[in-house]
Amino acid sequence: MENNIITVTSPLLPDLGEFEKYLEDIWDRKWITNNGYYHKQLESALAEYLKVPYISLFTNGTLPLITALQALRITGEVITTPYSFVATTHALWWNGIKPVFVDIDPATGNIDPEKIEAAITPKTTAIMPVHVYGKPCKTKEIQEIADKYGLKIIYDAAHAFGVEVDGKSILNEGDMSTLSFHATKVFNTIEGGAMVMHDEKTKKRIDYLKNFGFAGETEVIAPGINSKMDEMRSAYGLVNLKQVDKAIESRRQVAIKYRAALHNVEGITFFDDMPGVRHNYSYFPIFVDAEKYGMTRDELYAKMKSQNVLGRRYFYPLISEFTTYRGLESANRENLPNAHKMADSVICLPMYAGLTDEDVERGIKTIIK
Ligand code: T4K
């Protein structure tokens, strides 16, 4: 990296020579967007790879969240987590829905199912959890609550590409799941995203909604949006998908090295792998206990930065602290103690496929005193 800087991530790029061949074919076909040849191919390839029945490509990972809420006609209040990227809650805002923040489980960073019921009101229509860092939520418990109160579940699975529990895709949980294929993700199409659904009827409806609501040349069924993925990015995705398993393995090796080096550093903790889970190692968050470590999170963050190791404080500040949301009753600090603790102690270490041993070592040295 330029100036010896190690960034928190670096995009997985497809083989350029192979991608060029796809581009030549697209040029020959002269079909460059609107459910094209490679768009269809990428949808099939992803459905197979991810072990999901139906998937619909989007132009980023935010629009499938917005569209899922519209497709399910969600209104009123939605229970969600403050410990995520701001797009999760923005999707609610764009639909005129009030987010209701519920605290997280410190063991995973995900919404704590035990605290969901207390936040349900007559206006609650859905739960929108996030598999943060790709760690699976307690889906069984969340489903039980949703069934009891007649709520829908939309999982923001932006970080959970390829994550499986007991051999089954986490993306099949809830009513719908959404993915991000942004440059910084385990699998990327530069910008891109997708929605996973359970049946063909829903897929059809989502495909209308992401194409302005068109259900044919002259029929519009709803005020849909334009969120179609073009042929260049679909082809890029097809080439990139071929190396994603290798990339996940490379990330796993980085995680092994971090864990081996940091496991007995006083005041530094991290997540271990969960039993039965195929992780994707999308992020490697560490948590700093200032008292035990002898330095605050922000001091360590600044020290790393001064040595050109650019960790990131994902997800600090909490979404509930941003201007748009901080006036909400559920955004009260007292309501979200675990989320605040995590947001105030986290640093995500550099993590990507192909991060060299030397760079991993440099990252570790900034932390080990
Ligand atoms: N839900 C969740 C839970 C999410 O985390 C996200 C997105 C979404 C929904 C929405 O999905 P999208 O609509 O974005 O598809 C990044 C990403 O922009 C965002 O996609 C992601 N989550 C979020 C967690 O992180 P930034 O502002 O931190 O990215 P940026 O530009 O600072 O990049 C981070 C580092 O990555 C850079 O320091 C260097 C490296 N990088 C980045 C880019 C873009 C590269 O080396 N090359 C690149 O092209 O938000």
φ, ψ at 218 (rounded to 5°): -125, 5
Contacts of 360 (CB under 8 A, 6+ apart): 254, 257, 258, 350
Integer Cα distance of 86 and 90 in angstroms: 6
Q: Are 185 and 177 in contact (CB under 8 A)?
A: no
290 within 8 A of 297, measured Cβ to Cβ? yes
With the most atoms of ligand 1 within 8 angstroms of its CB, the residue from 5, 108, 170, 182 to mutate is: 182
313 CB near ligand 1 (under 6 Å): no
Summarize pLDDT for 99-144 with one digit per residue, the tens.
999 999 999 999 999 999 999 999 999 999 999 999 999 999 999 9
Contact indicator for 79, 102 with CB cutoff of 8 Å: yes
pLDDT averaged over every residue in the chain: 97
**Cβ 7 under 6 angstroms from ligand 1:** yes
CA distance 67 to 58: 10
What is the set of domains in the chain, with CATH numbers?
A: 16-241 (3.40.640.10), 244-368 (3.90.1150.10)
Does 13 contact ligand 1 (Cβ within 6 A)?
A: no
State the DSSP H helix or E strand holding residue 96, giving kind and residue range, or none if neither.
none
**Strand 6-7 with 77-80, pairing:** unpaired
Instruction: Give the mean pLDDT of 195-218.
Output: 98
For residue 2, pLDDT beyond 90? no
Provide the pairing of β-strand 176-180 with 152-156: parallel
Give the angle subtended at the CA of 101 by the CAs of 97 and 103, to the nearest 5°. Answer: 160
- Between strands 193-197 and 176-180, the pairing is antiparallel
**DSSP bridge pairs for 303:** none
Q: Is 193 in the pocket of ligand 1 (CB under 6 A)?
A: yes
DSSP state of 293: H
Which of 163, 176, 184, 189 to probe ligand 1 with, by most ligand atoms within 8 A of CB? 184
Per DSSP, what are the bridge partners of residue 164? 169, 278
pLDDT over 70, % of the chain: 99
Answer yes or no: is the C-beta of 56 below 6 A from any ligand 1 atom. Answer: no
Would the CB of 183 count as within 6 Å of ligand 1? yes
Banded model confidence at residue 341, pLDDT cuts 50, 70, 90: very high
Using the predicted structure, report yes or no on whether residue 150 has a pLDDT greater than 60.
yes
12 lines ligand 1 (CB under 6 A): no
For 70-96, b/e burial (b = at least 16 CB within 10 A) is bbbebeebbbbbbbbbbbbbbbbebbe
| pLDDT at 13 > cutoff 90 | yes
pLDDT in tens, 223-245: 999 999 999 999 999 999 999 99
How remote is the CA of residue 220 from the centroid of ligand 1, in Å?
A: 33
Q: How confident is the model at residue 369 (pLDDT cuts 50, 70, 90)?
A: confident
Q: Is the pLDDT of residue 1 over 70?
A: no
- Residue among 154, 153, 151, 155 nearest 163 (CA): 155
Task: Estimate the crossing angle of helix 16-29 against helix 231-241, to 10 degrees.
Answer: 150
Closest-CA residue to 345 (of 306, 295, 309, 279): 295
| pLDDT tens figures, 151-175 | 999 999 999 999 999 999 999 999 9
